[in-house]
Amino acid sequence: MTVSVNSHPSVLTLADGWLQPVTDLLAGFSIEVRSVTAGSPIPNSYWGEPEAGLERMTVWVRSDTPVHSVLHEASHVMCMQEERRAQLQSDAGGDFDEESAVCYLQITLADQIPQLGSQRVMLDMDRWGYTFRLGSTQAWFMQEGAEAGAWLQRHGLLDASGHLTGRLRA
């Protein structure tokens, strides 16, 4: 999986009414969403604006930040060990398996937001420029996502049924 930073006019952003639902969801994981004003730099954005930024247990956003970006960066926070979270500043790091788990988790989180859902987030990931070997996010999720789901189960983020546990990786 690779990502290229693109702008796509039909990708959902926080300005489309998603700031509060995303904030509410992530608060359940003790992740704070902090918004900066339009035109202001987004602190600690690894990929550059309008992508979300990371600082310990905070995800920095702006109204033009894509919803999928917030969920992706928050998933990094959830998937990393406590020691890394305590030092987190922009670059989430992690290995290939963790990055796959992050993508799987962002898709799973989307289903927890009413009126959003995984199908829309997968479409936005494709529109934004995520690329998977199988050609689309949905194809990867359906055909190869089981390994990422198993990683999330091993680390306590998903239960045996594939449902969110509400916990972060210890």
Residue 9: what pLDDT?
65
Confidence (pLDDT) at 32: 98
The set of residues, in sequence order, having a beta carbon less than 8 Å from that of 147 and lying 6+ positions away, is: 97, 100
pLDDT at 2: 35
pLDDT of residue 7: 56
Name the phi and psi angles at 89, rounded to 5: -150, 95
pLDDT at 8: 57
Residue 152's pLDDT is 98
Give the chain's residues under pLDDT 70: 1-9
pTM: predicted TM-score of the whole model, two decimal places: 0.93
- Give Dmax over CA atoms of the chain in angstroms: 43
Please check whether residue 3 is in contact with residue 47, taking contact to mean a CB–CB distance below 8 angstroms. Answer: yes
pLDDT at position 3: 39
| Per-residue pLDDT at 133 | 82
Say how many residues make up the chain. Answer: 170
What is the pLDDT, as a whole number, of residue 46?
95
